[in-house]
Amino acid sequence: MKRLLTVALMLVVAYAAHAIKIIHGPYLQAVSDTEATIVWVTDVKALSWVEIAPDDGSNFYNVERPKFFESYLGKRPFKTVHAVRITGLQPGTTYRYGVASKEVLFQKHHRVHYGDVASTRVYSKGKEKYPKAFTTLNPQKEKCEFLVLNDIHSKQEKLSALLNLYTKDQTDMIFYNGDMVSIVHREDVLFEGFVDYSVTAFAKETPFYMVRGNHETRGYFAEKFLTYFPTTTNKPYYTFKHGPAFFIVLDGGEDKPDSNLEYYETAAYDAYRLEEAKWLKEVVESEECKNAKYRIVLIHMPPVGRMWHGPQHAGDCFLPILNEANITVMLSGHTHRYSYNTPETTKAKFPILVNSHSTALRANVGQDGINIDVIDMSGNTTHSHSFK
């Protein structure tokens, strides 16, 4: 009996010694002019929330800050992957934030016992400045700058070299235009592949927008794509306006026919692209799209050259709609090679710029046009394009 009690006591001590930890993030997702979602992961299940404060120089602890939390059918969930949507924000406005997760120790019927709370700092310590802050999109902004990276396939040396182009003051956002990893067979693939590095480099303060590549459709965790990368539409295709540009992010799905043996009867991308095309038709008819100075489309697989089925079908579904929408430029990846495709060489009525796996696009969007530089891992500009 005594021995049993000793073992039980040791277990209690061991359990008490555990303190909940934030193991990934936080990082910004689905930032629009009025909303933002903050995502982070804890090592154990927790009840989570985000506190928001204006960027007014006040101490974060000056007053009680508004709290935001996830809820599903009115109930706050216990989770390890937390995605808290903050609503009711003002366009082009900076907000400071802190995240917190309270460990769930024990649940019996309706009763819950909580443990420690893990949180981000809301005051500076050492060199790193806290609390972190983000700025909502601003459709009225005169100009904007963004980076596009694609086909990184978890190669850290490429990611870190190309993200040297990021500057907090200049870069409004980063697009990851597909195939950031090769197969999503476990959660860590996403974090080890590109999310953790992004969090360190910029993603606590500047959002990245995911454009799903064909490789992100593969593996056990692929269907959890929106858990880690939520969007304003709850689909991997969405739009937003920032500065003079209206951005249309499309999901091309897989690259081979749905019946391909590699997919083991799990692919239904033809029907998916047709459904997406219906949504796209509504998008291009919206006033927000029509009235923008420029319309920029991002899709991982470009409808150019001798195509496999995926890009061919994506082109068949989307190009007839986009060709009537006065698109300024389409940005793609997938081929791992740079190419610039004029309307004379494709079925598109607009140019298609394909970025390679070892270069980034840096786009400056202004009132006089869009300038896009193709920049290699050493920081050299290899090509430049201008669009009116």
Task: Please state the closest distance from residue 298 (CB atom) to Fe ion, in A.
Answer: 13
Task: Please state the closest distance from residue 150 (CB atom) to Fe ion, in A.
Answer: 8
Task: Please state the closest distance from residue 215 (CB atom) to Fe ion, in A.
Answer: 6
Task: Please state the closest distance from residue 268 (CB atom) to Fe ion, in A.
Answer: 19
Measured from the CB atom, the residue of 213 and 230 that comes closer to Fe ion is: 213
Task: Please state the closest distance from residue 157 (CB atom) to Fe ion, in A.
Answer: 20
Measured from the CB atom, the residue of 37 and 335 that comes closer to Fe ion is: 335
Measured from the CB atom, the residue of 36 and 298 that comes closer to Fe ion is: 298
Tokens of 73: 């059918």
Measured from the CB atom, the residue of 139 and 213 that comes closer to Fe ion is: 213
DSSP codes of every residue in 61-72: TSSPPPEE---B
* Alpha-carbon gap, residue 309 to 262, rounded angstroms: 14
Task: Please state the closest distance from residue 128 (CB atom) to Fe ion, in A.
Answer: 35
Task: Please state the closest distance from residue 238 (CB atom) to Fe ion, in A.
Answer: 20
* Alpha-carbon gap, residue 168 to 368, rounded angstroms: 24
Closest chain position to Fe ion (CB)? 334
Helices (H) and strands (E) in the chain, counts: 8, 19
Pair 248, 296: CB distance under 8 Å: yes
User: What are the residues binding Fe ion (CB under 5 A)?
Assistant: 179, 213-214, 334
Packing angle between helix 309-322 and helix 269-284, nearest 10 degrees?
A: 20
Paired residues of 79 in beta bridges? 46
Q: Which residue has the tokens 């016992």?
A: 113
Measured from the CB atom, the residue of 103 and 216 that comes closer to Fe ion is: 216
Measured from the CB atom, the residue of 295 and 334 that comes closer to Fe ion is: 334
Enclosing H/E stretch for 387: strand 381-387
DSSP 347: S
Pair 102, 48: CB distance under 8 Å: yes
* Alpha-carbon gap, residue 53 to 37, rounded angstroms: 15
Other Cβ atoms closer than 10 A to 93: 15
256 CB contacts (<8 Å, ≥6 apart)?
262, 263, 267, 308, 309, 310
DSSP codes of every residue in 113-131: EEEEEEE--SS-BTTB-SS
Task: Please state the closest distance from residue 284 (CB atom) to Fe ion, in A.
Answer: 25
Q: Which residue has the tokens 């929408």?
A: 325
Measured from the CB atom, the residue of 89 and 211 that comes closer to Fe ion is: 211
Measured from the CB atom, the residue of 207 and 253 that comes closer to Fe ion is: 253
For the chain, how many residues are written?
A: 388
